Amino acid sequence: MSELDLIERITESAIRRDGTLLGVGDDAAVLAGAPGIVVTTDVLVEDVHFRRATTGLRDLGHKALAVNLSDLAAMGADPRAAVVGLVVPPSGLAAVDHDALRAGMEDLAATHGVTIAGGDLTSGPALVLAVTAVGVLDDPASAVTRAGAVPGDVVAVTGALGGAAAGLALLEGRAAPPDPDIGAALVAAHRRPTPRIDFGRTLRRLGAHAMLDCSDGLLLDTGRMASASGVRIEIALDAVPLAPGVARIALALGAEADLFAATGGDDYELIVAMAPADVPRARAEGVVVHPIGHVREGTPSVALTRKGDAVAAPARGGWLHHV
């Protein structure tokens, strides 16, 4: 069973009870109250989401928290706290390894005013980090979900894509960096993503209609927005911003650069649907906004073009688990 199939089954059977405004099916849950509470969780499993050979434990600590903060950013929430579940493999972790994990998390937590407030520790067959992050919204009804895109909206991303996938290719030895500085930046994009907390807050305040983070790939994640909103989304691949060096890495891998960037995943930029008039307003407030497409009426789907010509969507549209 695919990850999408299992999520659909869970969503269909989930019962939303009093006190929960938004449950399964978005980047985070929203609980009623004043302020509203926004909750999200992610699990990173060794040899599924990371490899010890290519990921230092300080970087892993950073990433485990960053991917959760990115979900809060996608709702427009202010992060407050996180709790951490750590599964230690049979080989164990040295004290210095525990220190590195904590330092990676704490450095990022301090940047965003987040308290690492507790968690759980156990042993198991592999190294696993499970982080639950909590944020707040003064008005819980203001959370930006995936479901609000309307025909006429511009679809935009908050930064360049493809860097994380290119960085992973470098770490795995599948390609060589075009130059050392670009190579280091691509590896950092994979190891230490930047959650767009400030961008998410500003976009919410400006009235963004729909938002989610680009964690599993632009094509797959815009498909989730299209499905939740009941709309057709058209993406112009030639408008997708590429991180420096991505085109060279894609060429070395025998891939088309724009499709490589649109399906690689792990970028953690925000994908936003917004009124066209709000694009310059967002830029005026310091938000990076790259328009890449439009929302149309039609059967929920994503259509790709390149210089005006239709492009067939690849069979692998992004990162999916089989569960």
pLDDT computed for residue 27 by the predictor: 67
Which of the pair, 1 or 18, is modelled with greater confidence?
18
- Average pLDDT of the residues of the chain: 91
**What's the rounded Cα separation, in Å, for the pair 190 and 57?**
14
Whether pLDDT at 4 is above 70: no
Which of the pair, 126 or 28, is modelled with greater confidence?
126
Query: Residue 24: pLDDT band by 50, 70, 90 thresholds?
Result: low
What domains, with CATH codes, occur in the chain? 3-142 (3.30.1330.10), 154-311 (3.90.650.10)
Mean pLDDT of 146-165: 97
Which residue type is seen at 161? L
- Check: CB of residue 221 under 8 Å from CB of residue 137: no
pLDDT computed for residue 6 by the predictor: 53
Model confidence, pTM: 0.90
pLDDT computed for residue 79 by the predictor: 96
Whether pLDDT at 141 is above 80: yes
Whether pLDDT at 323 is above 50: no
pLDDT computed for residue 322 by the predictor: 44
Question: Hey, how many other C-beta atoms are within 10 angstroms of the C-beta on 44?
Answer: 17
Our measurement of the distance from residue 288's CA atom to the centroid of its chain's CA atoms, rounded to an integer in Å, reads: 16
- Check: CB of residue 161 under 8 Å from CB of residue 301: no
Phi, psi values for residue 74, rounded to 5° = -65, -20
Name which of 182, 191, 160 is nearest 258 in CA terms.
160
- At 205-254, the pLDDT tens digits run 999 999 999 999 999 999 999 999 999 999 999 999 999 999 999 999 99
Among the ranges given (115-119, 130-134, 164-168, 243-247), the one the predictor scored with the smallest mean pLDDT: 115-119
Q: In percent, how much of the chain has pLDDT > 90?
A: 81
3-state secondary structure of 195: coil
